[in-house]
A and B are shown apart, each in its own frame.
Chain A
């Protein structure tokens, strides 16, 4: 039971961390290597909220807004000139991540910050005591996933975004302002990354380089999901399970590289990963 809960919540956390990157990769076909920096920005939003003495839950909307706004700036000045050079966009966003990391270091110092727990204690699930917060993370993943899917399926923006995903030239020809779709998508993706950063704070230490460790896992999952939300959910469940099982029964070190290795192998066999078109 504990194992199943661990798998479910690990998958949920991976999903929350990766979804912002997926949104951007899906529509813009660009890999945002500053994703880790946005996770960090979100976590520091939680730090600031705590320092100002507000309710820690307030950090969630704050992070989404701050992340989205900064994402907008990044899209305009850094991503936009590089649409035609996707490999260079990886590098430029990586550089941006370095800049953000150093700015945070200058502002807050390089030490580990502590944030108040959003929710502490344990609850009993079917006879097992389990961390309440990890269950909240599971719920958060479901909410974010459903909200994201609803946005894509049910709104005008989602329709435009799907049109851009399928055929950008045609979408532009039909009068869709593709530049605006890209901008808004990037802002949403960056906002979701910052939101994930807040949700990570009770689970991990907060310091200026915290995002990098999560970036690679998220990147691998998005590659395997190939832009599809459903495939991302499946990938998170399968790889999350692999990570938990290998960490528990073989070695934690192998568990920590399980996602990267499995993703590389899956992509070698099937370049489209879990997304079968």
Chain B
């Protein structure tokens, strides 16, 4: 084992400070420029741009939900409309005295946020699909618009509401209000998206199953984001109702929801600034052109949208990025945190008390029985290999052990606690880490970010900043050193080799400090040297730290070398459970592997 310090990719402190201050600098400049802008703009431009900037706030929320988190949504229009209507209805009823204005603001944020919570709960649940969330986001604006139509005098039905009291501003004042809200929301989104918690959004988009198996609750994150951003959309609705003095059902409609998506896509999803500039540019251009060429403008926009989706998924921001990439730039290397070892957890004492018990486990898909009558107990410090021919039910057994929502009969307990009904993230909290057969990592993140997320369920994530150090258990550091990952902290996972991804996933699982580790063919597709490394790591984990390991493996030589016990599965039944010598010498195993034994 090498003892040299891990390579540091941390940037020089000066540049570091500059880059973290960049959003605030840009925001301050933008705010200052927009503050003076109304004095040089004509009233038409001022009015239009006020509206455009309010829409840009919505574009930021759509970008966070769709561009970063991967949930395509048409529903932000509904939350915007509800915010606008809530403000207009309250102000129309009670007038614009300061206390009612404050109440209107509160209502315009709280009502959409409450609905957002309900929509989020409906959209995101264990095993929900991205498409289902989009379906719900389509239903919401349709329902909201119909409710507005049926609201009679309350909502003004199809003609909307006018003539309610608004903030006592001139058009320059509304422009500045919209500008401040836009800059503030964009800045907050920017800081959040760059923070460690913001990277978790991307992780959910990339691979929400992996998030769950790191003990994070991806669905809760999605629900929280939906709720908060519904509130932000409501805030934009409040500003809109004041600035325009009119609210209409179209403001909440599905068509407006699709327009928001179009602006974000054209500007460049996942870039924040792209959608903001795209929205302002397109809405302003549209306001100027649609008077003269109403249909042609829509036609042009539609055609550009189709072309961008097909040819340039990154939107106009991608063109800008490519243009900048041509320029010589220094410091292209990602900044990465410094690695430190965290104090070890107390070693588990090898005891006869089993950590994992399986009793009478059976699982079937329809009439096909995949597992039958499995009884198994695994104690701390054991390294149990699960062998058997293809289709014996090994991977299914692993899934049943790590996901309590799998429909099974029989019982599984971890340290005495039954896992029935528990989602994967809750089972991780009980101390079970799972490594998948095909490396399950986050392609869009760097190595360091992946590991940071692996620690997030225990250490938390910063909402505003990036961690300067990455504190991992010694065992995870060992895996990284032996596989060379410690020198690739700032590298994008997409660029790693197959073996490096496997090693990264193993490091992530080990970083969870599990008490039981489930590994599905950790050596598949690895070189001989890499296998030996992984074998050494597993032996250290089990014998030195007292972790229990369950390993699915086809390579019998490897199994013989490292296992303390071997369990043989055949056609869904547990046919043999014994020491290495007992199993390897068994006639039954020879028959099974030579193709006989089909009863």
Contacts and interface: CB of A to CB of B under 8 A. Distances in A.
Interface string B253-277: 0110010011001000000000000
B138 A102 contact: no
A274 interface: no
A271 B146 contact: no
B438 interface: no
A260 B309 contact: no
B184 to A, nearest CB: 29
A85 B562 CA distance: 43
The secondary-structure label for the interface of chain B is: helix
Contacts of B305: 91-92, 95, 98
Given A94-B258, A253-B150, A82 B128 contact: no
A96 interface: yes
Interface stretch (A121-129, A176-184, A216-224): A216-224
Given A87-B72, A106-B299, A216-B138, A78 B306 contact: yes
A88 interface: yes
A91 B315 CA distance: 13
B136 interface: yes
Interface residues of A, number: 40
Contacts of B313: 85, 88
B310 A78 contact: yes
A204 B392 CA distance: 59
Contact of B295 (A87, A102, A257): A102
B299 A212 contact: no
A36 to B, nearest CB: 12
Interface stretch (A12-20, A42-50, A141-149, A261-269): A261-269
A87 B130 contact: yes
A173 interface: no
Given A264-B136, A271-B128, A257 B302 contact: no
B464 interface: no
A264 B139 CA distance: 8
A2 B583 CA distance: 74
Contacts of A219: 135, 138
B132 A261 contact: no
Nearest to A89: B309
A223 to B, nearest CB: 6
Given A102-B295, A253-B150, A260-B139, A91 B254 contact: no
B149 interface: yes
Contacts of A119: none
A95 B303 contact: yes
Nearest to B254: A216
Interface string A61-96: 000000000000000001001100111101110111
Interface of A: 31, 78, 81-82, 85-88, 90-92, 94-99, 101-103, 105-106, 110, 212, 216, 219-220, 223, 251, 253-254, 256-257, 260-261, 263-264, 267-268, 271
Interface in B118-138: 122, 125, 127-132, 134-136, 138
A87 B139 contact: no
Nearest to A217: B142
**Chain B contact patch, size range:** 35 or more
A220 B128 contact: no
A216 B257 CA distance: 14
15 contacts: A82-B310, A85-B313, A86-B131, A88-B313, A91-B262, A101-B302, A102-B295, A102-B296, A103-B299, A216-B142, A257-B142, A260-B138, A260-B139, A268-B122, A268-B132
A94 B261 CA distance: 11
Specify which of B72, B142, B302, B306 lies most central, judged by the most chain A CB atoms within 10 Å of its CB: B306
A42 B299 CA distance: 20
A168 to B, nearest CB: 18
Given A253-B150, A271-B127, A92 B135 contact: no
Contact of B255 (A90, A212, A264): A212
B67 to A, nearest CB: 12
Nearest to A79: B310
B340 interface: no
B26 interface: no
A103 B306 CA distance: 15
A22 to B, nearest CB: 15
Contact of B309 (A88, A99, A101, A216): A88
A65 to B, nearest CB: 24
Given A99-B306, A102-B302, A219-B138, A91 B265 contact: yes
